[in-house]
Amino acid sequence: MFFTTPTDGTTLAYEDYGDGPVIVFVAGAMLNTDMWEYQIPFFVERGYRCIALDRRGHGRSDRPRGGYDIDTTADDLAALLEHLDLTEVTLVGHSTGGAEIARYLARHGESRVARVAFVAAILPFLKLTDDNPVGVPEAMLEEMLRRIRADRPKWLSRQSQLYFAEQFGNEVSPEMSDLTYRQCLSTSPWAILKIQEAVFHCDNREALRGITVPALIVHGDADFSAPIDITGRRTAELMPYADYREYPAAGHGLYVTHAERLNADLLEFLKA
């Protein structure tokens, strides 16, 4: 299914399954709705309506020249909720999807949202600044972008080797690693560059402090893509009333390696 954004006329794809209380899944950067194949059937079979969005430049959505900043992608999420007139929604965001959810709440409020779940989310703020001394130096972003520009498939292949934290005993088939790699490879090369740049500079500290709906934070302590000391643990500090759950030996791809535990934790959160 498709709809057109009111901001710049970009056509975005989404999938919609089941009936019942609504969960909207927001994928990580470079991934698309297919990443949620171990979550969507689980929740549909338990009486939930599951909707997943392909970010611009990703999956079956348009590949426009612009709009890859987090403000615009958060507005795209708002456009989906408005297009379907959704209320009492649970938003579940992975990686960059978590940053977009936080920005959505800051820009559009909580009137349509019942609760939020941040899964391996790139929050609150990656960039090293005077008031963010635990952040990442901008030189590391520039080096990453250089590697992407020089040989994007090679860079993605290296990332996929670390994505599931297999060195910590997580069993993932070669086929699963290849599937994730091919999903990322199918994303617009321009979108990859611009989204990586945007999420690095995105400061969601105040946005997190302003969230009043119930929140769940899930993060793996072996996350290479979003190191837990910079992301998950700091997000929990900014949201002291959130339910924070740390998965030992879990990497960025915990929605696969720890799908059973993640689904159980999400279901408990939804029913609480």
Identify whether the C-beta of residue 50 lies closer than 8 Å to the C-beta of residue 18.
yes
Active-site choice (62, 76, 223, 265): 223
Q: Which of 61, 95, 177, 225 is catalytic?
A: 95
Q: What is the pLDDT of residue 54?
A: 98
How high is the pLDDT of residue 3?
96
In terms of C-beta density within 10 A (0-12 exposed, 13-18 middle, 19 or more buried), how is residue 256 classed?
buried
pLDDT given for residue 48 in this prediction: 98
Domain with 168 in it: what CATH number? 3.40.50.1820
Mean pLDDT over 86-107 rounds to 98
Specify the pLDDT at position 217. 98
Stretch (H or E) spanning 52: strand 49-53
The mean pLDDT value for 249-265 works out to: 97
- What are the beta bridge partners of residue 4? 11
Tally of structural domains, the chain: 1
Q: Is 252 one of the catalytic residues? A: yes
Q: What is the pLDDT of residue 32?
A: 97
Contacts of 179 (CB under 8 A, 6+ apart): none
Quick: pLDDT tens for 120-131. 999 999 999 999
Question: Is 111 a catalytic site residue?
Answer: no
What is the SS3 assignment for 247?
strand
For residue 133, what pLDDT band results from cuts at 50, 70 and 90?
very high
Distance (Å, rounded) from C-alpha 227 to C-alpha 231?
6
Q: What is the pLDDT of residues 136-195, one digit of tens each?
A: 999 999 999 999 999 999 999 988 879 999 888 898 999 999 999 999 999 999 999 999
Q: Is 83 a catalytic residue?
A: no
Q: What is the pLDDT of residue 158?
A: 87
**pLDDT-based confidence at residue 43 (cuts at 50, 70, 90):** very high
On average, the pLDDT of the chain sits at 96
- What's the pLDDT score for residue 159? 85
Residue 113 has pLDDT above 90, yes or no: yes
Task: Please enumerate in sequence order all residues whose Cβ is within 8 A of that of 216, keeping only pairs 6 or more positions apart, or say none.
Answer: 115, 116, 117, 118, 242, 243, 245, 265, 266, 269
Confidence (pTM): 0.96
- What is the rounded average pLDDT of the residues 101-107? 98
Check residue 160 and give its pLDDT.
80
How many residues in total does the chain contain?
A: 272
Domain range spanning residue 267? 2-271
Confidence class for position 90, pLDDT limits 50, 70, 90 = very high
Average pLDDT rounded to a whole number, residues 14-27: 98
Contacts with 93 (C-beta within 8 Å, 6 or more apart), sequence order: 25, 26, 99, 100, 101, 116, 117, 118, 119, 121
